[in-house]
Amino acid sequence: FWTINGKFQQSGQKLFIPQITRNHSGLYACSVHNSATGKEISKSMTVKVSGPCHGDLTEFQS
């Protein structure tokens, strides 16, 4: 699942935000839960939107 600034956004492998604006800046996190082991792993990154976005960002490396 995905969170932005600690607030749940959506479930799924990818996060889609149509028409991104400066208001979408913040701390983005993706968390996964393994029901077999009970473990949860999260990765996060800070995103700063400084202007209109052209194209798409499909992957990032942390």
Which H or E run includes 33? strand 26-33
27 within some domain: yes
29 within some domain: yes
Residue pLDDT, tens place only, 14-53: 888 888 888 999 999 999 999 999 999 999 999 998 877 6
| pTM for this prediction | 0.72
| Domain count within the chain | 1
Residue range of the domain that includes 28: 2-11+21-47
42 within some domain: yes
Residue pLDDT, tens place only, 9-21: 999 888 888 888 8
Which H or E run includes 44? strand 40-47
56 within some domain: no
Written as six digits, the tokens of 14 are 């990818």
